[in-house]
Amino acid sequence: PSLNNNHHELLELAASFQSPPGRPATKSSSVARRVRGVLRQDNKPRFVSAFYQSNCGDVSPNVLGAFCTDTGLPCDFNHSTCGGKNELCYGKGPGYPDEFESTRIIGERQFKKVAELFNGASEQIKGKRQFKKVAELFNGASEQIKGKVDFRHV
């Protein structure tokens, strides 16, 4: 994968988080390590995040759409086919043709948005919240997870 063009910008964003007490902030620390360090501080409440996503479907990084490999034209939208065949229909991500670059770009976008939401948070959630997760497996079975999270003790 190519060098991240926004590497400096991401380091600045990570540097905006206060360094944990007793540890010097260094430019060599990874962005993830810097953010995790902030969230582990003893003088701050523990941080819990939840990001709702409906319609996972195809979770590949093909945000530019699907195109026919033989013609370069967009695939049939309703059936994801090219001339009636799905074998010729492939998605393209923001780093096309490099799928790893596409994945990195999308991960960076998600990180930036999470950091923005984290820095702009103004309301603490208290009390109990319920959650439910359903995963449809390819063998036709379903897996359900139900539970409760008590934010008073997190």
- Residue 89 pLDDT greater than 80, yes or no: yes
Q: What percent of the chain has pLDDT over 90?
A: 12
Catalytic residue among 16, 30, 60, 80: 60
Do residues 82 and 71 touch, judged by C-beta distance below 8 A?
yes
Mean pLDDT for the chain? 71
pTM higher than the cut 0.75: no
Closest CA to 59 of 89, 91, 82: 91
pLDDT digits (tens, 9 = 90+) for 110-153: 888 888 887 887 887 777 777 766 666 666 655 555 655 554 54
80 is catalytic: no
Per-residue pLDDT at 85 exceeds 80: yes
Contact 74, 68 (CB under 8 A): yes
Residue 148: HSE in the Cβ half-sphere, 13 Å Cα cutoff? 7
What pLDDT shows up at residue 144?
57
Q: How far apart are CA 125 and CA 121, in angstroms?
A: 11
